[in-house]
Amino acid sequence: MLAALVAGCGADTKGDFVARANAICASTVRETRSIAPPSFTHSKAQQLRALAGYLASVLPVVQSEATQLHALRRPTEVAHDRAALARYLSAVTQVLGDYRELAAAAKRGDARGVASAEAALRASPVTSLAAAYGLRSCGSPGATVA
């Protein structure tokens, strides 16, 4: 038993990381769902303005999620798991950049830029990478960066 306690000191386990990350992602999903989505029943210009306003509220939440995930203490684990976690966190960073591009394009009224950023977000492997690592809340449909 003492050996197990000593082995657990100094580094969190993968299970600890997964639990903390899932809590962060679940909280972010709840927070973003509390932000009223824009209406898309108006002209294209009005839709872009509404999207820009919505993203102005959502982007800080997504930024906070990414910051919190990156700040989590990495578990000591096998090389395969470390590589999987690194790929996931890299994808989180890319998704945050895609959200920033989306917000900037919407603010400019750039429909092509919005479409491009939306396509990048849809193509992101972040959800499958999260799920592969065991992050259920971060890898579920409707999650923000994950």
Helix (H, G, I), strand (E, B) or coil at 1: coil
Tokens of 6: 């000593």
- Nearest Cα neighbor of 65 from 34, 32, 40, 33 is 32
Per-residue pLDDT of the chain (146 residues; tens, 9 = 90+): 334 444 444 447 899 999 999 999 999 999 999 999 988 787 888 999 999 999 999 999 999 999 999 999 998 878 889 999 999 999 999 999 999 999 999 999 999 999 999 999 999 999 999 999 999 998 765 555 54
CA separation for the pair 97, 126 (Å, rounded): 13
> What pTM did the predictor assign?
0.84
